[in-house]
Structure 1
Amino acid sequence: MALLVLFSTVSFTVEKHFCGDVLIDTSIFNSAEKCTPDNAEVKTAVDCCKDILDIIKGQDELSVKALQDLDFDHQLFLSTLTYSYLNLFEGLPELVVPHQNYSPPNLIADIQILDQVFII
C-alpha cells in the first residue's frame, strides 16, 4: 500500500533530444545528451535540433478518510473483515507432555550384564 502511494505521488520529466527526425538521446534523471558534429549519427545543421520535455505529474493531494467518514454499510464490512481476519490465525494448542514429571526408577543392577544376554 505504501508503494502504491509513493508511485502515485512521484513526478518526473522525460527529456528527448532530436536532430532532425532522428532521436539522439532520451533521459529521465539527467539532461539529454545534445548532438554535436562529433557524436551525431546524422550530420545536420544545429538549428534542426530540438528538445522535447514530457512532464509526468503525480498526484498532488491525498485524501485521508477516517472510519467515521464512511457510511454504516462500509463500517460494518470493514469491522467484519478485520474481526474475521484476526481470528483466522489461531495459536497452536499447548503441547501436552504426559511424562514431563516422570522420573525413571533407580537401577540397582544391570540385568543384561548379570544374565550375560547381549543383543548381537
Structure 2
Amino acid sequence: MIKLLYKGFSMLLALLVLFSTVSFTIEKHFCGDVLVDISIFTEADKCAMEAYEIALEKVTKKPCCKDVVDVIEGQNKLKFSSFEDLDFEKQQIIASYAYTYINLFEELPKLTIPHKNYSPPNLVTDIQVLDQVFLI
C-alpha cells in the first residue's frame, strides 16, 4: 500500500513539473461579435466570410473578422546546476560524504567450501541398518 502511495505521489509531482513547464496558445476567431472557432495548439478555422471580408476591407478599411490569440507561457526558469557550479567547500563536503557512505559497507569475506568439487562416496550397503543403529 505504501509503495502504491509513493508511486502515485511521484507520478503526480512529475506531471506537475511537466504541465508547469509546457506553454501553449489558444486562438479564437470572431466574425463580428460571434465566436466561430476556438483552437488549442493550431490555427483556428476561418469563417466563410473571410473571402468576402478581404474584398470588403478594401472598400471600408474596417475588417469584420478578428483573431484573438492567448498565449499561456509555462515556467522556463528551471535551475539546472552541476557539481562544478558549487564552490570548493561544498564540493569537498559532498565528495567526503559520498566517500564515507560508499566505504560504510564492508565486503563479506569470500566463503570457501573445501569439499565443493568432491562427490560423496557410493554406498554399497546401508551401514545403519547393517549395524542396527537408529536414532530415537
TM-score (norm 1): 0.43
- Please identify which structure carries the higher helix content: 2
